[in-house]
Amino acid sequence: LPTQADVLIIGAGAAGLMCASVAGKRGRSVLVLDHANKVGKKILMSGGGRCNFTNLYTAPDNFYSENPHFCKSALARYTQWDFIALVEKHGISYHEKTLGQLFCDNKSRDIVDLLLAECREARAQIRTRCEIQRVEPLAPKGFEVHTALGKVVCESLVIATGGLSIPTMGATGFGYDLAKQFGHNIIPTRAALVPFTLNKRALARQQALPGTSLAVNASCGSGHFHEQMLFTHKGLSGPAVLQISSHWKKGMPVTFDLTPGLDLPEWLNAQRGKRQESFLHTVLAELWSKKLVQFFLQRNGIESKPLKQYSEQAIKVVGEKLQTWTLTPEGTEGYRTAEVTLGGVDTHEVSSRSMESMKQPGLYFIGEVLDVTGWLGGFNFQWAWASAHAAGGEV
């Protein structure tokens, strides 16, 4: 292990590797340390193995933070177009899946290889399987970092250790603990972009449904997402649920509009005029799968009869009951499966231009460890790239 580096980066994930390449290209000697057995593990598992590396429509509104203005500067100075240009420079083919989400055609490995190639070009050194034991500030500047492989002295120290999601992938609270050591406030963390769990009774009712999905409009608090919802063995998942989980706290109800864009009471009433002999369940099967029709009817205690047997008033009540589903999840699957961690290092105490700590000169925080959390759809990586780029130009 080198005993000295201009810049020491802890965490060889998305943000750490990006920052290493930018700082190295400025002529800084860079060392990246990670305790995991390989770099970029989350990148490798991201986007179902194809890494949703950015989003065409990235804007500050796609991020949650106690300090919503903080992300603007870095996102404006390193945009989705900059990262797309880098992807194209490396000849990586990609496609838009939906809603501006860009995925590799091939594998997430392409993005890790891109970052490693950039780091090689920048002469940044990377060491994995390196436990960090403690960090001590030096006077008048710099840090002494004690690791299982030896001691390193550096001028700038960058914390890129990410959030708490997926501990089995190497996630730790290291970044938060280090921030506290230097007097930083931590915005309380919680698992986000995570499936909901339901209680036993609710699960028993939906036991025929795991694997079934439908388009919904999910709402909770101030959040609204029009996306797919998926029934699982533990509860509910799918993009609509993952997105709305970032707005959810224990005890809050979540509402699903099960026919988004369609006024179900009016629609059913119109069918009643046209198809008097048809049964309610037959008509509903044009909107949902048969299994779902049965589930939603049973859940509301609605009996399926020929449409002519309902009055206008009665069919509208049926439509209202069926259109909206409000439930209170028991919980979430937690950090075990969450894609991200909400909260983190309070950005009121970090420079939005350089990501440098306002408490300790030479100390920087980038990526998910900060209290900046993106929506589902490539926004979290774009934040990692942008914040890393901002710090890489200053360290």
Report the residue from 265, 343, 367, 392 that binds ligand FAD according to the rule CB under 6 A. Answer: 367
Q: Name the DSSP class of 90.
A: T
Using CB under 6 A as the binding rule, whether residue 11 contacts ligand FAD is answered as yes
Report the residue from 9, 145, 159, 166 that binds ligand FAD according to the rule CB under 6 A. Answer: 166
Using CB under 6 A as the binding rule, whether residue 165 contacts ligand FAD is answered as yes
We find the least distance from the C-beta atom of residue 21 to ligand FAD, in angstroms, to be 13
The per-residue b/e assignment along 38-75, b for 16 or more CB within 10 angstroms, e otherwise, is ebbbbbbebbeebbbbbbeebeeebbbbbbeebbebbb
Instruction: Report which of 298, 260, 265, 266 is spatially closest to residue 281, judged by C-alpha positions.
Output: 298
Residues touching ligand FAD, count (CB under 6 A)? 36
Report the residue from 162, 195, 238, 265 that binds ligand FAD according to the rule CB under 6 A. Answer: 162
Using CB under 6 A as the binding rule, whether residue 13 contacts ligand FAD is answered as yes
Six-digit token pair at 236? 């509910």
CB 225 within 8 A of CB 201: no
Using CB under 6 A as the binding rule, whether residue 181 contacts ligand FAD is answered as no
Count of CB atoms situated within 10 Å of the CB of 168 = 8
Instruction: Report which of 210, 214, 215, 212 is spatially closest to residue 198, judged by C-alpha positions.
Output: 210
Q: How far apart are CA 242 and CA 225, in angstroms?
A: 10
Using CB under 6 A as the binding rule, whether residue 346 contacts ligand FAD is answered as no
Q: How far apart are CA 234 and CA 254, in angstroms?
A: 17
Report the residue from 170, 239, 343, 362 that binds ligand FAD according to the rule CB under 6 A. Answer: 170
Q: How far apart are CA 91 and CA 277, in angstroms?
A: 60
Report the residue from 5, 7, 9, 16 that binds ligand FAD according to the rule CB under 6 A. Answer: 16
Q: Which residues contact 301 (CB under 8 A, 6 or more apart)?
A: none
Six-digit token pair at 39? 């770099």
Angle between helices 70-77 and 379-392 (to 10 degrees): 80
Using CB under 6 A as the binding rule, whether residue 80 contacts ligand FAD is answered as no
We find the least distance from the C-beta atom of residue 102 to ligand FAD, in angstroms, to be 9
SS (H, E, C) 242-295: HHHHCCCCCCCCEEEECCCCCCHHHHHHHHHHHCCCCEHHHHHCCCCCHHHHHH
Q: Based on CB atoms, which residue is closest to ligand FAD, 94 or 174?
A: 174
Using CB under 6 A as the binding rule, whether residue 392 contacts ligand FAD is answered as no
Report the residue from 172, 212, 255, 304 that binds ligand FAD according to the rule CB under 6 A. Answer: 172
Chain positions 119 to 138 lying near ligand FAD, rule: CB under 6 A, are 132
We find the least distance from the C-beta atom of residue 23 to ligand FAD, in angstroms, to be 15
Chain positions 51 to 70 lying near ligand FAD, rule: CB under 6 A, are 51-52
Using CB under 6 A as the binding rule, whether residue 36 contacts ligand FAD is answered as yes
Residue with tokens 């963390």: 189
We find the least distance from the C-beta atom of residue 261 to ligand FAD, in angstroms, to be 27
Q: Based on CB atoms, which residue is closest to ligand FAD, 195 or 319?
A: 195
Q: Please identify, among the stretches 84-92, 183-191, 254-262, 372-380, the one whose residues bind ligand FAD according to the rule CB under 6 A.
A: 372-380
Using CB under 6 A as the binding rule, whether residue 339 contacts ligand FAD is answered as yes
Q: Please identify, among the stretches 38-46, 87-95, 184-192, 307-315, the one whose residues bind ligand FAD according to the rule CB under 6 A.
A: 38-46
Report the residue from 118, 381, 386, 391 that binds ligand FAD according to the rule CB under 6 A. Answer: 381
We find the least distance from the C-beta atom of residue 9 to ligand FAD, in angstroms, to be 9
If residue 85 lies in a helix (H) or strand (E), which one and from where to where? helix 80-89
Q: How far apart are CA 89 and CA 112, in angstroms?
A: 14
Q: Which residues bind ligand FAD (CB under 6 A)?
A: 10-16, 34-36, 41-42, 45-47, 51-52, 132, 160-162, 165-166, 170-172, 174, 339-340, 367-368, 378-381, 384
